[in-house]
A = this chain, B = another copy of it.
Amino acid sequence: MDVKENMEKIAREAREAAFHLAAVSTELKNKALLAMADALLKEQKDILKENEKDMAAARKSGMSQAMLDRLLLTDSRIEGMADGLRQVAALPDPVGEVLSGRQVPNGLKINKMRVPLGVIGIIYEARPNVTADAAGLCLKAGNAVILRGGSEAIKSNMAIAKALYKAGDAAGLPKNSIKLVETTDRQAVDVLLRLNGLVDVIIPRGGAGLIKKVVENSSVPVIETGLGVCHTFVDESANLTMAADIAFNAKVSRPAVCNAMETLLVHEKVAGDFLPGILKRLTEASVEIFGCPGVCAICGEAKTATEEDWFAEYADLKLAVKIVASLPEALAHIEKYGSKHSEAIVTENYSNAQVFLQKVDAAAVYVNASTRFTDGFEFGFGAEIGISTQKLHARGPMGLAELTSTKYVIMGNGQIR
């Protein structure tokens, strides 16, 4: 069987599973999730052994230390995966929720009800924990899932999937509810992205290159996640102590994540009071500064920012800093260079806060808080499959509800038109 036939077979099997999964009870789904958590712990040794083979091959191929760390599984990481599945089991089932209902004049009762999306394709990199996390979330929302992870993690993923399959079958889940793509042939992704009619949505999870490839090549609808070029604007009326704490937190607390600040914008009227202190604090925390000329004049360690710096998602201890003359200039900068992820203003001025909230086009817009809060757990969703940066379907952190669609359920008594 060639790659195309194989992928179509996987998708047809997942489609069949999805048909049955849509009607599976919450109880059964939860039972399966808990059984999967147990199975991961039971198979822990096998999973670690297979992961060690992936790690050995990756080391030999010269994989970077950061990527090796993502690939590595440990006892505590496997326990974390099992805990994640247990947490998902404890969340309310989104399927069946009636979002709205009405009786129209002719007597038809029209209810809009949450239903599973159907078959979800997850394309990710060499992070084996995604295999369990994504499978658990998709399953709880009643979806069949096709998992395509990075080839460097294939042995780890197969060991994890084997544990999940066995537990799912024993619990009585529809067969093929979870399907790991076992070939590492790159063509498999190309095929998956064109399986309209069999696959309902593709969610890429990974770096900018992966996401771009998926967006540009998929005819199946995609939920774009990821890229965050987040700004914090310190307005002239800001409480400067609060502004410094927010800016420091937004950059330093976890610089590699998508909700970290990448550019700090400062109103010129407070630049002299605000910048020397915060820039000292940042550089002492090893943050490299790329500034406009005004910033460079204040901070001797700053390098001159280029056009690329304003567009950059450093995902690192690096920060672009710019002095702006006004709120409108800050808004225009964000409109031009932002990625519509998370944007914050620090201000004590009511009108400026309102203008910022309205005018900034982003998934999450903050007044007087760190952009680091854009996260499914912080938002109270109890889970997160990713953060959508597109405007269709889901925007911002995506929990279980974002893994569902709706259908209109209509009850009549003979109405014709």
Contact = CB atoms under 8 A, between A and B. Distances in A.
A242 B410 contact: no
A370 B407 contact: no
A90 interface: no
B108 A417 contact: no
A76 to B, nearest CB: 22
Contact of A407 (B222, B239, B364): B364
A231 interface: no
A256 to B, nearest CB: 14
Interface residues of A, number: 69
Contacts of A407: 361-365, 395-396
B359 A417 contact: no
A249 interface: yes
A64 to B, nearest CB: 27
Contacts of A370: 415-417
A292 B20 CA distance: 27
Contact of A408 (B110, B242, B361, B396): B396
Given A242-B414, A407-B396, A414-B239, A221 B221 contact: yes
Given A253-B417, A391-B201, A409 B219 contact: no
Nearest to A223: B392
Contacts of A239: 414
A369 interface: yes
A380 B417 contact: no
Given A108-B373, A372-B417, 11 more contacts: A23-B359, A104-B379, A104-B380, A108-B369, A215-B219, A249-B417, A253-B416, A364-B407, A369-B410, A372-B416, A391-B405
